[in-house]
Each structure stands twice: as structure tokens, then as C-alpha cells.
């Protein structure tokens, strides 16, 4: 998360505590949950082109993220982080549908590639910060927004795969009917549980690195504290 990548700078600029930094990360997760819930209940993903939803939401996420860099304190920052999470709901889950539409016979492989790209993308702000590309923490945030805009343009140009499926009418709550199928329930509940282990690992990794002494500067230590304060980091 971009906020964790500039945790020490936010502490210095706004006087945030590790708990408040955790709130910034949690705001993104709450927004993501709200966005995915809205998309699933409304059926928007079945009504409109996946590539178009992806591109539009990537642009919205980039704008909300850039607005976070312009905010002057925690209150407005929490709001922009929440909106960033809402927009990301149209990127990651919709991206899964998009890649499968290109190669349904290799669904496992392409979904694995997508998740791998998610991990790389989540770490890019830390790479930008570590390379000192920008002299300010806002520059790190802007770089992430710029990369999101590039991704939006690429996906818009790429379009949907040949197996995307036809557009259907909006049907509020239609997804709930799917839970009548035992196989769908089993797959869904298994997927719901994986996020706890995934994000818990990401949260504890900075603490482990700092504890082992691999990185000893204040940034790593403070980042670890912020991650522990919010297990969804």
C-alpha cells in the first residue's frame, strides 16, 4: 500500500501514530469490500464490458490516490483512501474476469499471473521510495497514480477477450441465487478465507525483516509498527 511506503513521512508531516496509519490502510480495505459488494449485488460486471469497467475504475483509483497526496490531514485522507478502495473493486476482481476471457482453458495459470502482478504492483511504491525517485512522499503517491493511468490505457486498448460473454440486463441480488449451488458455496467460502492468511503475511513481513536486522533504519521499524497495527496492510 502506498500509505505504508511513506509511513515515516506521514508520521513526520501529520504526526500520525502507528494506529492512525493502520486506519489509512483499513480505509482502503473497507472501500474495497464496499465496492465489491456493490458490483456483485448489482450485476454490473455482467452488464458492461470488463475492460471498460477496469479502465474507468483504474482512472478513478488514480484520481482518488492523487487526492490523498493533496489532503492536509487524517480526516480527509481517510475519505480518499476509502474511495481508492471502492475504485479498486473494479480493478482486481474484474481483472480476473478479463484475463479468463482471453484463455479460459488456462484459467489457473492466468489467474496465478494476475495475482503475481498484484503482488508486484503492491510493492512498486516501496521500490519507488527506496530508489529515491522523488524527494517528497507525495511524489511516491503520484507515481503510483501515474502507473494506474498507464494500466487503464493499456487495458482499454486491449479490450475484452473472445470468451467474455454477452451483455446481460442488470439484476440486483442475482448473485445471491448462486449460493444455492453447493459447489459455488464451497468455492466461495474457501476464497473468503484465503485473504486472512495472505494479508497477515504481508503485514508481519516488515516486522520480521526489522527484527532480523536486515533493515535497521527508522523507516522499516516504523513501517513494521504500522503494519502490525493494521493486519490488512
Q: Is residue 91 part of a domain?
A: yes
pTM of the model: 0.76
**What is the per-residue pLDDT for 156?**
95
CATH number of the domain residue 51 falls in: 1.20.1250.20
**What is the per-residue pLDDT for 193?**
67
**What is the per-residue pLDDT for 229?**
41
**What are the residue ranges in the chain where pLDDT is below 70?**
1-5, 167-174, 193-200, 202-204, 206-207, 210-233
**What is the per-residue pLDDT for 79?**
94
Q: Is residue 202 part of a domain?
A: no
**What is the per-residue pLDDT for 227?**
44
Distance CA 16, CA 13 (A): 8
Dihedral of CA atoms 3, 72, 13, 26 in degrees, nearest 10, equals: -30
Indicate the number of domains in the chain: 1
pLDDT in tens, 71-129: 878 889 999 999 999 999 999 889 988 988 888 888 888 888 888 888 788 778 877 77
**What is the per-residue pLDDT for 34?**
92
Kindly state the DSSP code that residue 43 receives in the 8-state scheme: T
Q: Helix or strand or coil: residue 226?
A: helix
Q: Is residue 220 part of a domain?
A: no
Amino acid at each position: 500500500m502506498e500509505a505504508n511506503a511513506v509511513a515515516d513521512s506521514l508520521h513526520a508531516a501529520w504526526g500520525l501514530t502507528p494506529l492512525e496509519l493502520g486506519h489509512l490502510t483499513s480505509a482502503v480495505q473497507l472501500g474495497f469490500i464496499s465496492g465489491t459488494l456493490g458490483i456483485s449485488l448489482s450485476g454490473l460486471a455482467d452488464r458492461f464490458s470488463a475492460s471498460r469497467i477496469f479502465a474507468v475504475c483504474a482512472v478513478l483509483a488514480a484520481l482518488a490516490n492523487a487526492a490523498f497526496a493533496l489532503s492536509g490531514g487524517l480526516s480527509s485522507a481517510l475519505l480518499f483512501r476509502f474511495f481508492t478502495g471502492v475504485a479498486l473493486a473494479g480493478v482486481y476482481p474484474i481483472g480476473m474476469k478479463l484475463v479468463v476471457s482471453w484463455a479460459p482453458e488456462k484459467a489457473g495459470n492466468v489467474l496465478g499471473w494476475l495475482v503475481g502482478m498484484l503482488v508486484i504492483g503492491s510493492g512498486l511504491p516501496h521500490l519507488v521510495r527506496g530508489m529515491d525517485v522523488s524527494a517528497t512522499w507525495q511524489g511516491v503517491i503520484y507515481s503510483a497514480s501515474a502507473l494506474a493511468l498507464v494500466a487503464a490505457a493499456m487495458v482499454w486498448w486491449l479490450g475484452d477477450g473472445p470468451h467474455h460473454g454477452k451483455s446481460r440486463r442488470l439484476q440486483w441480488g442475482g448473485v445471491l441465487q448462486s449460493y444455492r449451488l453447493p459447489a459455488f458455496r464451497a468455492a466461495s467460502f474457501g476464497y473468503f478465507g484465503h485473504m486472512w492468511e495472505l494479508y497477515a503475511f504481508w503485514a508481519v513481513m516488515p516486522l520480521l525483516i526489522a527484527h532480523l536486522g536486515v533493515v535497521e533504519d527508522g523507516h522499516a521499524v516504523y513501517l513494521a509498527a504500522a503494519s502490525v497495527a493494521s493486519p490488512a496492510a
